[in-house]
Amino acid sequence: MESLIVAIIAGVAMWFAINQGRKRRARRAALAAQAAQPPAAGTMPRLGTPGTISREQIKALTANHFEPGTDWSWEEAALMLDGLAYARGVLAAVTGRRDHDIDVQNQVFAFVMRDDVIREYVRAEQPAEPLPRDASFEQVAAFVRRTIG
């Protein structure tokens, strides 16, 4: 009788393991298919290897009101944090304040991430304070002036 119970438990455990493996493979295949598709205009392309986000990045993103996914890459998380810092830096430079509503910050951040040139600039340069007053800065500053009014 005991061996029958052990066999049933082993069978159920095996079924769960196989089922989880199938789900994991399907999820990986879906992520690979999504990464292979070209991004739509005005969206951020996927970067790096999905699932490589660090715990420190998750904490930093969560502290900044993001909801990071475990399928994010280290590069995507770094770009999000750099883009947010850049958007906040431009906001502070244009308005002279550092305390903006989250909605305003989100609009400027979305503008930075949507524009291919600015996004790549932030990713490659990672400009420090004070921000250089270059073409990217002026483009974001003009957006801030239009948005805030």
- Judged against a pLDDT cut of 70, whether residue 149 lies above it is answered with no
pLDDT band at 41 (very low <50, low <70, confident <90, very high): low
Q: Evaluate whether 64 touches 102 at the Cβ level (below 8 Å).
A: no
Half-sphere exposure of 61 (CA within 13 A, CB side): 23
As a whole number of angstroms, the distance between CA 114 and CA 26 comes to 29
- Judged against a pLDDT cut of 70, whether residue 40 lies above it is answered with no
pTM of the model: 0.71
Give the pLDDT confidence of 53-93 residue by residue, as tens digits: 999 999 999 999 999 988 899 999 999 999 999 999 999 99
pLDDT of residue 42: 56
Q: Which of 97, 143, 98, 149 is nearest to 118 (CA)?
A: 143
Q: Which of 131, 112, 134 is nearest to 123 (CA)?
A: 112
Give the pLDDT mean for 128-145: 89
